[in-house]
Amino acid sequence: MTMEIHQDDADVEQSGASEKSAGRTPSKAPKLVDKVFEQLQERITLGEFPSGSKLPGEHDLATLLGVSRPVVRDALGRLREVGLVYSRQGSGTYVRVFDAQKTSLGFSPVKTIADIQRCYEFRLTIEPEAAFFAAQRHDDASLMKIRAALAELRDATRDQTHRADVDFVFHRSVAEAANNHYYTACLDALRQHIAVGMKLHGLSLMGPLIKLEQVYDEHSDICDAIAGGQAELARTRMYEHLEGSRNRLFENKVLDLSR
């Protein structure tokens, strides 16, 4: 897999400067750390960095990806936030082990477009209920975590980009607020499956800013319903958001899964 992140961003900066000099508003581009995060996430998902393995050091990763060590450090921090990696003091960063035989939940990998639809179908049966109980059971700390993820989604929307990592953190934070470890365990087991759908969904949002703003508003409505203790509304808002994400991805053409 060829990496040309550094040069691409130099080209973006040069293009932005040219647009400024011409009196136009520079086009928005994904932040460099977002690109590095996505590259590392993809390498982990594809098994290039296998489950349980130690990642190369920051210096080696920076050389491999053609970026600075602070950028790599920030990207690794995001990988830790979404639970894909963990750090051992004085030893390094390791890919978290997801072994179906060692955990209570294990799902086969996403192999087809139909599998992505099945994942959405399954999420529609569990996440609205998690939002319902989150509205009833959240405390200040769990609500603060939801709002922190929402704030990062707002910043990404202003930058005209979609942060799949923060999107997942938002949904997992809602599950945590439900105070039922079965919801969080299920989302953790689905983490890589959800990442595939979110990545494709993010690509479908590229274009008019109104699409990204709509997705942000959907997350904001879920947060408001949970914060207000409106359990039924939280359930409805979560269902509508997931259904909307699926429909945007599949352009309202749901596959026939009867066979």
130 shares its domain with 71: no
239 shares its domain with 160: yes
- Using the structure block, give the residue that is written with the tokens 């929402």: 150
Instruction: Give pLDDT, residue 84.
Output: 82
241 shares its domain with 138: yes
Instruction: Give pLDDT, residue 98.
Output: 58
Task: Give the count of domains, the chain.
Answer: 2
Instruction: Give pLDDT, residue 255.
Output: 60
9 shares its domain with 136: no
Residue among 109, 237, 110, 121 nearest 170 (CA): 237
Quick one: DSSP state of residue 39? H
21 shares its domain with 127: no
What pTM did the predictor assign?
0.61
Query: The CATH number of the domain where 65 resides is what?
Result: 1.10.10.10
Q: How far is CA 94 from the centre of its chain?
A: 20
Domain end point (choices 45, 69, 95):
95
Distances (CA, A) of 122 to 170, 222, 223, 232: 18, 19, 21, 19
Distances (CA, A) of 34 to 5, 168, 193, 227: 11, 14, 19, 29
CA dist 226 and 231 (Å) reads 7
Instruction: Give pLDDT, residue 217.
Output: 96
- Using the structure block, give the residue that is written with the tokens 């932040």: 31
Q: Is residue 135 part of a domain?
A: yes
61 shares its domain with 154: no
Instruction: Give pLDDT, residue 139.
Output: 95
85 shares its domain with 120: no
Domain end point (choices 67, 95, 123):
95
Contact 39, 9 (CB under 8 A): no
Instruction: Give pLDDT, residue 148.
Output: 93
37 shares its domain with 148: no
143 shares its domain with 21: no
Residue 83: which region, alpha, beta or left (left: phi > 0; alpha: psi -120 to 50)? left
Q: Tens place of pLDDT for every residue, the chain, 259 residues?
A: 334 444 344 333 333 444 444 343 343 345 788 888 888 887 887 678 887 889 999 999 999 999 999 999 999 998 888 778 888 888 899 988 654 434 444 555 655 778 888 889 999 999 999 999 999 999 999 999 999 999 999 998 988 888 888 899 999 999 999 999 899 988 888 887 787 766 665 555 555 667 889 999 999 999 999 999 999 999 999 999 999 998 888 776 666 666 5
71 shares its domain with 130: no
**What is the span of the domain harbouring residue 226?**
113-250
